[in-house]
Amino acid sequence: MDLPSLSFSPERCADLHNRLLAKSIEHLPARRTERNLVARFLDAAPEFAEIPSLPELPLYRFLALLDTTPIFPGRVVDMLTPYMYQPDPTIFWSEPFEDEPSFILLYAQNSGDAPMDGGVFLDIVSYKAVWHERDFLTFPPADQWLPLEVLLQRSLDAWETGKFYWDVGQASMAIRSWTQNDVEEALVAWNRLLSSIELRISSGTGNAPHRLEPLSSESLAPFNISTFAAEFLTRAQRPGFSFNAPGINTFTPELFVVTYTAEAPGSTRQTRWLGDSGDEDWPTLLFPGIDTVPLDVSDNPNMYINSFDRDWGFGKFTVNRQSGLYVIADTKYSDVVRLIASSGLPNACEFRHRFAWGPPRDPKLAEVLRHWASLVEEGTWSVDSNGVCTDHEWFNTNTHVAKVPPCLD
């Protein structure tokens, strides 16, 4: 799908919306639907009725095809997905964003903030869409907006993969912290990274390294690690070389035991979860770096590095200050990761710019591994018989390149 040339189709987008609505009420057989959004829109914005050939406008055609559930007196509109509400024309131009008259808040957010403070905005000139919240202050530039069809399809995919599901106990839609699809995506990306490095090694030496068996569940069992991390590590083949990224190793069974055994039993990492999803979501070191973070980083002039040991810093959630790639526990995404460089820099694997198709989050493991594979394939990282041989300092001096571009593959 060529995203830049994907033109707005009221019919395709309405079909995706209506399929999402059907998912949201599948377990509520008494809930009926109606098609009256155009009337509600003209009640909220009567000046649009004066536009010549109004029914030919893409926005009108789109709204005319949308199913919604009835709004009863004293109630807000119902949910479309766990993240967002159905369209509500009375807040299309909500107060925090009324200085952008071509942007309408099509799907308001479901979060701790008020719905009208953010969600999916649609530009009714370009018909591109983006997730935006008041805390961001300014909208992202036009080249970071996506076709509305893409955002709706991502939500539908979340149902298909089991990310969204119906919680019988709560009688509502809910979000799984991770699914088998997340594991499979990460494994595919991991195999791509290993294959890319192996190809570079074999082209230089004539010999391709052999893969090794994954870590065993028995070796992981004594330690507090996340369920997603355990699933990945016990299925991911280990490479026959040392470095899968600059200064980043892969655990051997012996190194894993030594690293986690040395951790104090009462460490903050093991006693305080970053999430409350109910899964065992301890922050977990997946790929260790070559060094630990120094003890004096609080004096570092870099604001990101000197926050390492502060109350809001990530230092307390590391394994004995060990650098490397960590799975960080999140209430909605247990497969998001953070790279802690040996300097203490925590942001080298953040997204390069704002996440466009949903609420803000850190990059998922699969997204980081795909980016690392591209850095090997493009020749950005050097490779020798030990794997990636670019110095670990690269993450500190090339942070923008290290950051992950939010892509849709």
- Tell whether the model's pLDDT for residue 241 goes beyond 50: yes
CA distance 89 to 71: 12
Q: What pLDDT shows up at residue 295?
A: 94
The mean pLDDT value for 321-343 works out to 93
Q: Which pTM value belongs to this model?
A: 0.93
Q: What pLDDT shows up at residue 290?
A: 94
- Tell whether the model's pLDDT for residue 2 goes beyond 50: no
User: Per-residue pLDDT tens for 243-255?
Assistant: 999 999 999 999 9
Contact predicate 269/282, CB 8 Å: yes
User: Per-residue pLDDT tens for 299-326?
Assistant: 999 999 999 999 889 999 999 999 999 9
User: Per-residue pLDDT tens for 176-229?
Assistant: 999 999 999 999 999 999 999 999 999 877 787 899 999 999 999 999 999 999
The mean pLDDT value for 18-26 works out to 96
Nearest CA to 106 among 81, 125, 131, 126? 131
- The model's confidence at residue 69, banded by pLDDT at 50, 70 and 90, is very high
- CB within 8 A of 318, min separation 6: which ones? 269, 283, 285, 293, 326, 340
Q: Sign of dihedral through CA atoms 183, 189, 193, 198? A: positive
Q: Where are the domains of the chain?
A: 3-169, 180-402
- If one counts every other C-beta atom within 10 angstroms of the C-beta of residue 261, the result is 9
- The model's confidence at residue 297, banded by pLDDT at 50, 70 and 90, is very high
User: Per-residue pLDDT tens for 268-292?
Assistant: 999 866 555 556 689 999 999 999 9
User: Per-residue pLDDT tens for 162-178?
Assistant: 999 999 998 999 999 99
Contact predicate 326/285, CB 8 Å: yes
Q: What pLDDT shows up at residue 279?
A: 60
Q: What pLDDT shows up at residue 281?
A: 82
194, 218, 235, 329, 367 from 229: Cα distances, Å: 18, 14, 10, 10, 15
- pLDDT averaged over every residue in the chain: 92
Q: What pLDDT shows up at residue 4?
A: 46
